[in-house]
Amino acid sequence: MSEKEILMQVRDLSVEYNTRLGEVSAVDNVSFEIYKGEILGLVGESGCGKSTMGKALMRMIQPPGKITSGQIIVNGEDIMAYDQKQMRDFRGRKVSMIFQDPMTSLNPVQRVDEHIIEAIQVHEPDTNTTEALARAQTLIQRLGIRKNRMKSYPHQLSGGMRQRVMVGLGLVLNADLIIADEATTSLDVIVEAQLADQLRDIRETFGVSLLVITHNIALVAELSDRLAVMYAGHIVEMGDVESVFDTPLHPYTKGLLKSIPNIKLDDTEKLYKMPGEPPNLTHPPAGCRFHPRCPFAMSICSQVEPEFSEIVPGRMVKCWLYLDHPDKEEATIEVTA
Amino acid sequence: MSTSLRRFLVTRLLLTIPMVLILVTMIFFVMRVLPGDPIRSQLGPRVSEEQADALRERLGLNRPLYIQYFDFLWDMVTLDFGTALTQGERPIRDELGERLPATIELTIPAITLTAVIGIFSGAYAAKNRKKPVDYIIRLLSIAVYSIPIFFMGLIFQIIFSVRIPILPLSGRMDTLLLTNFTSITNFYIIDAILTRNWPALWSVLMHLVLPSVTLGLALSGVFVRLTRVNMIEMLQSDFITAGRARGISENKLVYRHALRNTFIPILTMLGLQFAILLAGAVLTETTFSWPGVGRYLVERIQLRDYTAVQATIGIFALFVAFISLLMDILYAFIDPRIRY
């Protein structure tokens, strides 16, 4: 793990939405890193801030939302300091994004080849159309779309094909990181599996890193190397996929994993239902944001927010159960690697 | 042309027939239900019954109504339109041949101006939503929409031809030039070009400025708002976000990607407005003494000139049908999802 190169370092990133009911803290002081060539899964419930975070990494938060603090360091440069023009160059070339709904993510009046040629020429104005077309064709065939589909309009393609076009658009400029925001959610299971396969494939071929944002834990288990679990604007746990699945540390992760329906579940066994509801982020709970729903909550949890700490090498968790504190009454749980 | 497009065109053209038929039938009977008639409107109230009957007989108004009706339908079908009942009883075809080109020559630049001003300032306002420039554009669009068109025309006349005399006050061209001006099509621009009468062409163009700007500006308010609302919605759609994530510039996203996707509702409105313009330019035509078909229609309605009104409205109906057909064909060129 340690010899891996860091591609993107996120430090203390916070995003707030200014609404009529007050400031909504959608992402709160989140720090993590994405390594070169890895697939990082980011899971969490709806509304936990995972999509907001994906957009924030490209500085694409639209008003009334705002990135209120933090650094995003790529290749030693903090992109928060970039101006509009540098940002435009950054988007698409360094980091690209695949969106949830392939039905609406392509311009309905633009053909597939026009999309790709445009993406190339925006970043490389010197590339002529013939050359760009040739590149587009090679890429599109590699993604398993037939060449004669190049002249199609988005509505003439299936959902899976459109999503592959989106992947192609992300790849055409050799981006280092592709953020897939619920990219497979609206596809049926078979197409979803194909796309997941394809994502793994392009990691091998192109050496890109992938940030897979999803609420589909099964997909993440299948696809990613590392896993980050988000709850109410915080990353509460992070580690490599096997260990998080084998020994979840954070009570929220434990509950989340127990809530996955399993066909092998006995008739006598019941599916775990997490008590309570996700908190209202205009007034998040004090201390640990999970404490009102936590079966292991201690008195300290409602008072002081725990640090996101590395408990064992490669495993981070944000929970008092694993941290020492002078006022703490219960014993700290020791975890061995 | 694909067979399906041809079938669509044929269907639409066939549907035009009952549409126009219903309209002209309504007009035929409504005109005769209205109080007053062309006899009284011309001879006045103090005329003897014999004189009135004589005129009625000469104009064919003493014939049974159904005969008059079928006579009128036949005139429409043969595109002959018959003769007017008042004002010299000239063939309606000649009268409209003078009036209609004048109106079309006014409305085409006006609607072009409307589209350009409306679409671009609407898109610009949407792009700068909630910024001062957005509020200014919206305010101006309400202003031009709510100022009566003849008032706006008068203001322009006072400013640009009285105080600063750079533009002619009214009419289609300089009366001095009119004496040696040969009119072939009654489209003065075309006539001037055909006869290589360059001073006349210049005069015609200058005379067009004020009326077409007035008319174009007055209508543009609707399009500013229509474009703005549709653009705001479009700018929030996923493909714009996706385009932004690809590093495409904001200007390109607004004016190329989003705008083309909002053309359908704008075009629909433009088609409808153009139809209204043909008939409804009355106020502009009156303000600028423009000898167009709007003024003609009002004048003949007042005189209860049955045949002239019927024929004019029948022609309007044909125009509307033609323009909406044109719009439907244009849709398919703009949006690849629409196929006939």
Q: Could you read off the pLDDT of B45-62 as tens digits, one per residue? A: 788 888 888 888 888 888
Distances (CA, A) of A191 to A141, A161, B239: 17, 9, 21
Of all residues in chain B, the one with the smallest CA distance to A59 is B245
Please report residues of B whose CB lies closer than 8 A to that of A89. 247
- Tell me if B249 and A89 make a contact (CB, 8 A cut-off): no
Look at residue B146 in the predicted model and tell me its pLDDT.
92
Residue A306 near residue A318, CB atoms below 8 Å: yes
Cis peptide before A64 (omega within 30 of 0): yes
CA distances from B92 to A211, B71, B82, B254, B318 (A): 74, 15, 6, 49, 16
Alpha-carbon torsion, ordered A273, A278, A279, A280, to 10 deg? -140
Cα–Cα distance, B14 to B58 (Å, whole number) = 36
Q: Which positions in chain A touch B238 (Cβ < 8 Å)?
A: 99-101, 104-105
Q: Are strands A234-240 and A226-231 parallel, antiparallel or unpaired?
A: antiparallel
Give how far Cα B124 sits from Cα of A186, B143, B228, B235, B266, Å. 34, 18, 8, 12, 15
For residue range A124-180, list pLDDT tens digits in order: 888 888 888 888 888 888 878 888 888 888 888 888 888 888 888 888 888 889 998
Count of CB atoms situated within 10 Å of the CB of A21: 10
Kindly state the average pLDDT of the residues B259-270.
88
Answer whether A191's CB lies under 8 Å from A34's CB. Answer: no
* % of residues, chain A, pLDDT over 90: 2
On whether any CB of chain B is under 8 Å from the CB of A59, the answer is: no
Best residue of A84, A89, A109 to probe chain B, by most B CBs closer than 10 Å: A109
Is 90 exceeded by the pLDDT of residue B116?
A: yes
Kindly provide the b/e burial profile for residues B300-311, where b requires at least 16 CB atoms within 10 angstroms of the residue's own CB: beebbbbbbbbb
Residue ranges matching CATH 3.40.50.300 in chain A: 6-94+175-322
Buried b / exposed e across A62-76, counting CB within 10 Å, b at 16+?
A: eeebebeebebbbee
Residue A2 pLDDT > 60: no
- Please name the amino acid found at residue B156: F
Dig out the tokens for A22 from the structure: 């007050």
DSSP per position, B201-262: HHHHHHHHHHHHHHHHHHHHHHHHHHHHHHHHHHHTSHHHHHHHHTT--HHHIIIIIIHHHT
pLDDT of A186:
74
Residue A336: pLDDT above 80? no
Cα separation, B294 vs B263, in Å, equals: 29
The residues that bridge with A23 in the sheet, in sequence order, are A18
CA A294 to chain B, closest CA, distance in angstroms equals 36
Cβ within 8 Å, pair B242-A123: no
pLDDT at A3: 59
| ipTM (interface pTM) | 0.82
| All structural domains of chain B | 101-334 (1.10.3720.10)
Instruction: Say yes or no for a CB contact (<8 Å) between B243 and A107.
Output: yes
What is the per-residue pLDDT for A1?
A: 45
A294 touches chain B (CB under 8 A): no
Searching chain A, which residue's CA lies closest to the CA of residue B264?
Answer: A109
Contact A290, A232 (CB under 8 A): yes
What residues contact residue B43 under an 8 Å CB cut-off, 6+ apart? B51, B52, B55
Query: Nearest CA of chain A to the CA of B242: how many Å?
Result: 6
- Residue among A52, A41, A48, A53 nearest A216 (CA): A41
Query: Which architecture, in CATH terms, is A6-94+175-322?
Result: 3-Layer(aba) Sandwich (3.40)
Residues of A in contact with B239 (CB under 8 A): 104-108
CB proximity B6 to A under 8 Å: no
Query: Which ranges in B60-131 belong to alpha helices (H)?
Result: 65-77, 92-127
Q: Does A88 touch chain B (CB under 8 A)?
A: yes
- Reference B237, options A249, A105, A121, A92; nearest CA is A105
> Using the beta-carbon criterion (under 8 Å), do B246 and A119 form an inter-chain contact?
yes
Tell me which residue of A250, A233, A252 sits closest to A316, measured CA to CA.
A250
Q: Does residue A13 surpass a pLDDT of 70?
A: yes
Which residue among B238, B252, B260 sits closest to A99, beta carbon to beta carbon?
A: B238
Question: A104–B239: do the CB atoms touch at under 8 Å?
Answer: yes
CB-based contact A159:A191 (threshold 8 Å)? yes
pLDDT band at A265 (very low <50, low <70, confident <90, very high): low
Phi, psi of A209, rounded to the nearest 5 degrees:
-95, 150
Per the model's pLDDT, the better-predicted residue between B181 and A212 turns out to be: A212
Return mean pLDDT, chain A. Answer: 84
| Mutation for testing the A interface, residue in B239, B246, B259 having most A CBs under 10 Å | B246
pTM of the entire structure? 0.81
Which residues in chain B (219-248) have CB-CB distances under 8 A to chain A?
Answer: 237-239, 241-248
Distances B330 to A62, B112, B323 between C-alpha atoms, Å: 34, 16, 10
Q: State mean pLDDT over B222-227.
A: 93
Mean pLDDT of all residues in A281-307: 84
d(C-alpha B332, C-alpha B340), whole Å: 8
Residues from chain B contacting residue A153 (CB–CB below 8 Å): 336-337
Gap between the Cα atoms of B124 and A73, Å rounded: 34
